[in-house]
Structure 1
């Protein structure tokens, strides 16, 4: 679990680079990421990732193709990445090169810094 929390904190740097750089979706908003929604078995590059700063706090927003979204707060001392809205907690697994974040029946592959 400790490695996953460290990886989640490292996500902060990777998100900043990704949003400013390469893989931007067709509308120019956010970075395309792999996600598996509503318990689907496979992953598709269907979600977008955006990074936002607000009141000296860093957030990541993952947007679903149907308009739904999840907000995560980054760099929470002792906890790493946490859900910013809702009662369900994020489960984070270090997959080597990315983290898999699970909230309920939704899963997201988020990049981490190398």
Structure 2
């Protein structure tokens, strides 16, 4: 589960999930700081395949530039985020606010 946030600069992965899938700081493309809900977080940008799971139709896997915060403590139980740069800009998407439905397809 993730929050769709078109204002987020990148998808943001919970550090505990990153750790569980084998993230290592050696995989970092770049080190950056970003503001998440008023907190400045230090972390790494990595390349990661993210799959959107379809209720109907086909799943979609996107090679995404993703931010992983350094500290699980600083993460403060935030949800993961799907951001515009590095992810949503690489797919076609639409949102139906009446039904909270997220539609997606490859470009």
Q: Structure 1-normalised TM-score?
A: 0.29
Larger RCO, structures 1/2 (Cα 8 Å, 6+ apart): 2
Query: Structure 2 length normalisation: TM-score?
Result: 0.30
